[in-house]
Structure 1
Amino acid sequence: MYTIGQVAKFLGMTRDTLKFYEEKELVKPKQDDTNGYRKYNHFDIYDVVTINFYREIDIEIKKIQDIRRSKSIEELAYLLEEKEQQVLEEIAYKNLLLKRIQHVKADCQKVKQYLGKYMIKEMQPLKVTGEITDLAAHDEYDILQNNPDNLKQAVTLTGLRRVIKFNAEGIIGDRFIIVRKVEDINDDIEGEVLTYPKCIYTIIENGRWSTNGKNMDDQVEESLRRVASQKGYELLGLVFVNMIITTYEEGLERVFLEIYSPIK
């Protein structure tokens, strides 16, 4: 027979945890009538070890109480299947979270490397999955929830692209499309797929910190025309805008936009 202090010591637990288990009737050591101390026998220790195992795999106290009262093998297996599914969902979320963190880190590197510079780059294929009226159409954001890159219930804008159309006279319209990346262009994909092997590529800064809230569209268009003219490129009259990072300075947002403008 062992005292609560002895059990706590060799199982690496606190006395308070053992007392908590006793309060929840998960373990029921007998009380010594001579001194009132609780004494743990080897069956009680089995109970504590088992409870610790269930706690380590994140089984709730109430469900452990149910198991403690009586659970058949079938019922226990079902409970564990439920927990397994929950863990798999958590792993999937953590993997998505890790992927998003890595993408944002890569975007930070992009900003340092390409901000204000112009080069020729391929725009990776994108499948169009929807469209919203404009960036401020918050009541339409539910369509963004279908984006597989979303983190839980948060609406993220990683799958949103602004498409600006222009001609010789200037900008003639724009729209906001919802896209997802196409991993293999050879796959049989239904619907509209955007793919441009040659684009003028750059990253610009927007937001109130750098522009004081002024619209940058005409300035971006002018810069693209200038670069195309200098290099002898022919623009297709499209600009794809992807917001990659937002940060803040002096309380004002700094928004970094990735620009693809297809050329012939």
Structure 2
Amino acid sequence: MYTIGQVAQFLGVSRDTLKFYEEKELVKPKQNIENGYRKYNRFDIYDITTVNFYREMDIEIKKIQDLRKSKSIEGIKSILEEKERDVLEEIEYKQLLLKKLQIVKEDCEKIKQFLGKYTVKEMKPLEIKGEIEHFTAYDEYETLKENTDNLKKAVTLTSLRRVIRFNDEGILEDKFIIVRKVEDFHKEIEGEILSHPKCMYTVIEDGRWSTGGKNIDHNVEASLRKAAIENGYEPLGLVYINLLLTTYEDGLERVFLEMYVPIK
């Protein structure tokens, strides 16, 4: 027979954990009526190690209680298969999260390298999944959630692209499309594919910290036109804008946008 202290020590659990197991009737050590001390036998040890095993797999206490009452081998297998599905889904989400973290790191490098500078770059293929009136059209965000790559269906703006059409006289059209990066052409593609092998590319800064809240569309348009002329490029009258990163300075947002301007 063992004391609670001895069991806690050689199983590597706290006394509070053992008391919690007892409270939930997952283990039932004998108790000395005179002094209240608990004594654990080898069967209690089996119970504790079994509970620890299920807890390590993050199986809920209620299900462990059900297992303790009565469960066939098939019943145990069913619970484990259910937990396996949960773990696989969480792994898939974590892999997606890791990918997004790596993308944001790459975006930070883009900002350092291209902010205020112009270069020629390919705009990789994008599948159009939908369209919303404006990024502030919150009632349309359900469409954005349905078409996101995020397993937890959080609303983010990373799948949005602002599309501006312009000519020599100014802006003709301004809209927002929901897109998905096309990385595998073997997968079924339902929407239209956007792809431009040659674009004038730059990163600009927006947000109240740098602009005071002013609309800078016309300034950006003029800068793009000037850069195109200086470099001998002929724009096709389109600009695709992607939100790279938002940060804060003195409590005001700094928004970094990457711009693809298709050229002939």
Cα distance in 2 for partners of 1:114, 1:9 equals: 58
**Unaligned runs of at least 5 residues, structure 2:** none
Contact 2:131–2:178 (CA<8 Å) still a contact in 1? yes
Displacement after TM superposition at 1:41 (Å)? 1.2
Q: How does 1:26-45 map to 2 (within 5 A)?
A: 26-32=26-32, 35-45=35-45
Contact 1:144–1:155 (CA<8 Å) still a contact in 2? yes
TM-score (norm 2): 0.95
Query: Match of 1:201, as an amino acid?
Result: Y
- 2:149 — aligned with what? 149
Cα distance in 1 for partners of 2:233, 2:187 equals: 31
Cα distance in 2 for partners of 1:240, 1:82 equals: 44
Identical columns (%) = 69
Cα distance in 1 for partners of 2:186, 2:235 equals: 27
Q: Deviations over 1:30-69 (max 9, x none)?
A: 2345654322111111111101111111111111111111
Q: How does 1:10-159 map to 2 (within 5 A)?
A: 10-32=10-32, 35-150=35-150, 152-159=152-159
Query: Match of 1:166, as an amino acid?
Result: F
Change (3 A) 1:5 1:188: closer
- 1:241 — aligned with what? 241
Cα distance in 1 for partners of 2:35, 2:101 equals: 59
Change (3 A) 1:57 1:185: closer
Q: Deviations over 1:192-250 (max 9, x none)?
A: 10000000000000111111111111111111111211221111000000011111111
Cα distance in 2 for partners of 1:221, 1:258 equals: 14
Contact 1:97–1:151 (CA<8 Å) still a contact in 2? no
TM-score (norm 1): 0.95
Query: Match of 2:62, as an amino acid?
Result: K
Q: Deviations over 1:85-105 (max 9, x none)?
A: 111111111112111111111
Contact 1:131–1:176 (CA<8 Å) still a contact in 2? yes
Deviates more, 1:207-216 or 1:150-159: 150-159
Give the CA RMSD over aligned residues. 1.5
Displacement after TM superposition at 1:21 (Å)? 1.0
Cα distance in 2 for partners of 1:82, 1:150 equals: 22
Displacement after TM superposition at 1:186 (Å)? 6.9
Change (3 A) 1:162 1:33: closer
Contact 1:135–1:176 (CA<8 Å) still a contact in 2? yes
Deviates more, 1:23-32 or 1:75-84: 23-32
Aligned length: 264
Q: Deviations over 1:132-188 (max 9, x none)?
A: 011211110111102343362420111100000001111111110000001145766
Query: Match of 1:208, as an amino acid?
Result: R
Cα distance in 1 for partners of 2:14, 2:214 equals: 62
Q: Secondary structure at the match of 1:28?
A: coil
Deviates more, 1:110-119 or 1:30-39: 30-39
Change (3 A) 1:63 1:252: same
- 1:182 — aligned with what? 182
Cα distance in 2 for partners of 1:34, 1:135 equals: 71
